[in-house]
Amino acid sequence: MPNLVTEANAFLADFERREQEEAGRAPGWLLEVRREAMRAFLDQGFPTRRDEEWIYTDVTPLRRHRFPLAPRTSTRPATLAPQRFALGLDRGPRLVFLNGRFEPTLSRTGALPEGTELGPLAEALTRTGAADGPGAVLGTLAAAARHPFVALNTAFLADGLWLRLPPGACVDDPIQAIFLAEPRGEPSAAHPRLLLDLGAGARAVVVERYGLECVGALGEVGGLTNTVLEARLGAGAALEVVRVQREGGAEHHLGFTAARLARDARFTQVAVTLGGALCRHETHVDLAEPGAACDLSGLYALAGREHADHHTVVRHAAPRCTSRQLYKGVLAGRSIGAFTGRVIVEADAQQTAAEQANHNLLLSPEALAETRPQLEIHADDVKCSHGATIGQLDDEALFYLRTRGLDAAAAGHLLVHAFADEVIERAAEERVRAGLAALLAARLDLAPGAGGRR
């Protein structure tokens, strides 16, 4: 077995080099946060499949290669068109990041409610101290000490999204944060961080988009995107995050989303994972005060040898909170789709309503679905349920469609689309739904085997 410490040290060398480069530029408190995180990463090392939380995801590929920080580039590809990643959203704030760095020429913020702070995190961090602005959110929901890749993200913290909405502020148009990997030769890493702080009664929709902008030839080994989002919702605030991941190819993607909800706050997430060599997304929601509600939904459509692992942890810590989860997988080729969802109801959290469902459609004989829906309940006045299914397209439904004149392939497509549509419908914004539907249509039509097996 390879030496874990040595492998983690590959990141350490990079960390130290960067620290020297940036000496004097980052504020002292931030340097200390990063150092602490680096220590936490070295302490934890890479998880292995023996670790119960990682039994479905083997991170060996991340241990086998070095992923230095992507080099700072002064030129951007002239062909790069952020509209391609805009889900059809032609107005509203848009921040574009290339290899983890803010790209001002492609970004715009537009008019925002008074008192709103929206912009690149790097800039916001240099302006503020450890206890105000983004510093007050950073690391409070995603703790470096408890997760190796959160630690790694924090250690290499450079840029990302910073959004603060004052109480009652409402941003009508979805805020887009587009993160593009632009590989140049050797595999490299980006560690974007998104910090969202919504005051009481504030409302926003954030579209979090990950993609690959390929100019040159792709290497055999893809790069690494290791992202962390922390969202703090004040009383009665409402936040919707639409997360679209489509680096594809040989890319590795690790994502960690954490949200804490105050009284009567509402958090909605629609996570659409469209593939990469290795994708993992964790969502941790803390329903901390009475009446908070969250709605998590996810869709993973995979083909080839792609692997996607979704984890959710919803903690009901206060009475009268509700949570709803719906994750769906469409698996073709030799792809692997895994889901682990945990609902924890603490002793005080009476009158909890929690439901969770995971449904998987296997479209090829070599695809694999793994699912672990988990309930951990310490209160008694609760209504909790979970359900999981793994199966294939319904023969009778296919037969019915064929009697109506559709050929086998078209009937299959129709059923797969109907299956996937349920997740997309959870997004509130109509333009976003249309954008997701188009994206999904393109993806599913590429997936071989959809209905074509019979």
Residues interacting with other proteins, by CB under 8 A?
Answer: 52, 347, 350, 360, 362-392
> Among residues 375, 402, 397, which one has the least CA distance to residue 388?
375
Closest approach of Cβ 293 to other proteins, in Å? 19
Q: Compare residues 81 and 347 and give the one whose CB is closer to other proteins.
A: 347
Q: Compare residues 150 and 331 and give the one whose CB is closer to other proteins.
A: 331
Q: Are strands 293-302 and 322-331 parallel, antiparallel or unpaired?
A: parallel
Closest approach of Cβ 371 to other proteins, in Å? 5
Cα(284)–Cα(255) distance, integer angstroms: 11
Q: Compare residues 241 and 367 and give the one whose CB is closer to other proteins.
A: 367
Under 8 Å between Cβ of 325 and 312:
yes
What is the rounded (10 degree) CA torsion for 177, 41, 249, 268?
Answer: -40
Cα(140)–Cα(120) distance, integer angstroms: 19
Closest approach of Cβ 447 to other proteins, in Å? 13
Closest approach of Cβ 283 to other proteins, in Å? 19
Q: How long, in residues, is the chain? A: 454
Closest approach of Cβ 52 to other proteins, in Å? 6
Packing angle between helix 408-424 and helix 395-403, nearest 10 degrees? 120
Cα(370)–Cα(295) distance, integer angstroms: 22
Q: Compare residues 380 and 430 and give the one whose CB is closer to other proteins.
A: 380
Q: Compare residues 65 and 386 and give the one whose CB is closer to other proteins.
A: 386
List strand residue ranges (DSSP E) for 63-146, in order.
94-98, 101-102, 117-120
Cα(375)–Cα(314) distance, integer angstroms: 10
Closest approach of Cβ 154 to other proteins, in Å? 29
Q: Compare residues 370 and 421 and give the one whose CB is closer to other proteins.
A: 370
What is the rounded (10 degree) CA torsion for 162, 231, 256, 424?
Answer: -100
Residue 165 neighbours by CB distance under 10 Å = 28
Phi and psi at residue 383, in whole multiples of 5°?
-130, 105
Q: Compare residues 136 and 388 and give the one whose CB is closer to other proteins.
A: 388
Under 8 Å between Cβ of 163 and 199:
no
Closest approach of Cβ 81 to other proteins, in Å? 38
Closest approach of Cβ 450 to other proteins, in Å? 12
Cα(425)–Cα(437) distance, integer angstroms: 9
Q: Compare residues 214 and 377 and give the one whose CB is closer to other proteins.
A: 377
